[in-house]
Amino acid sequence: MDSHLFSPLEIRSLQLKNRLVMSPMQQYVSPDGLVGAWHLVHLGSRAVGGVGLVITEATAVNPEGRNTLFDTGLWNEAQVAAWRPIVQFVQAQGAKIAVQLWHAGGKGSHAHPAAGFHYLPPAEGGWVTKSASAVSLDQHQTSEALTVAEIQALIHNFKAAAARAVQAGFDAIELHAGHGYLFHQFYSALTNHRQDEYGSSFDNRIRLLVETVQAIRTVVPDGMPLLVRLSAVDFSDEPQAWQLADSVRLTAVLQQHGVDVVTASAGGFGAPDRTKVVPLYQVPYAENIKANTGIITGAVGLITTPEQANTIITSGQADLVVLARELLRDPYFPLRAATALHIKTPVPVPYTRAF
């Protein structure tokens, strides 16, 4: 059977009912990293709306991994307990759910967006941010370079968070390795100026991500998929900037170590040419990575109509369509898409009939 937007997809032992994915979106409503009623509604409503896979917002593996004091976390047992009923609700609607694990690195320690999203110094409840090198990713502060010992501790944090994700009942794990956050700060030469085993050469700059993948694979079931979101390009004209060919090369390495899906986003240290920000403008990144590696890919970037989403799948450009703003505008986009494409889908639960 030819693939289309509502065809199932098997990833290891995980069966997705369709190719529509809810993209991670920060909510900034989690003091102490704890989720609650907001996340039950935010994530649960998109599951009721028919997506095949829900991915949580970026969830920190330690307190210093957050961007703000209000980001979700998975560094303690209380957070596991808070996530569990939300996971179960999403699954009860016929969707699967993945947690996106991250560390903001040098982009961390900010005030709530409603308070201006400015850098929050330690005296105001923030922390000293750490990155691959001593670089400034915020005009108000310069991050410190991580020591090798601190890097090893971070890998352990990711491993422990992955084990907690299994305890909470998540179906899959995604690593946020794009958008200028910690993993990206290491693999891009724009921000990695190290001369040790975690810097300089391509193999050294990707080492943190690869070693983290290896560590996570030791604590999750063999049948659990592992996803990675990459910034396929840096959106920079600097000669040392990360390029699409680098993403293809990195993806091939990640495949060897147990990564099943790559979502191809872009940017983090620079902005794209605004004249080129048009519908589907990032889809070619996923298409290129898929064509050159064969890995399952997710496409993002101004995808707003059922027809656009379906064409991405039927043409083979990508295997998954990852939606953010469109699902904020319309939590029931999948149900509307099925009607528009004349595809019969199972009746959502619960089923309410008007008399």
- Alpha helices (H) in the chain, listed in sequence order: 37-48, 77-92, 148-168, 182-187, 202-205, 207-217, 244-256, 283-293, 306-314, 325-329, 333-340
Q: Please give the helix or strand (H or E) that residue 313 lies within, else none.
A: helix 306-314
Distance CA 232, CA 212 (A): 19
Tell me the C-alpha to C-alpha distance, in Å, between residue 44 and each of 34, 98, 272.
16, 13, 33
Distance CA 196, CA 151 (A): 12
Secondary structure class of 297 (helix, strand, coil) = strand
Residue 56 tokens, joined: 């949580």
Which residue in this structure is represented by tokens 């990640």?
Answer: 254
Distance CA 322, CA 59 (A): 18
Burial class (CB in 10 A: 0-12, 13-18, 19+), 105: buried
Burial class (CB in 10 A: 0-12, 13-18, 19+), 167: middle
Q: Which one-letter amino acid corresponds to residue 60?
A: A
User: Residue 181 catalytic?
Assistant: yes
Catalytic-labelled residue, pool 28, 119, 181, 198: 181
Radius of gyration of the chain (CA): 19
The pairing of strands 172-177 and 96-102 is parallel
Phi, psi angle pair for 263, to nearest 5°: -95, 125
Residue 138 tokens, joined: 């915020």
Name the residues annotated as catalytic.
181
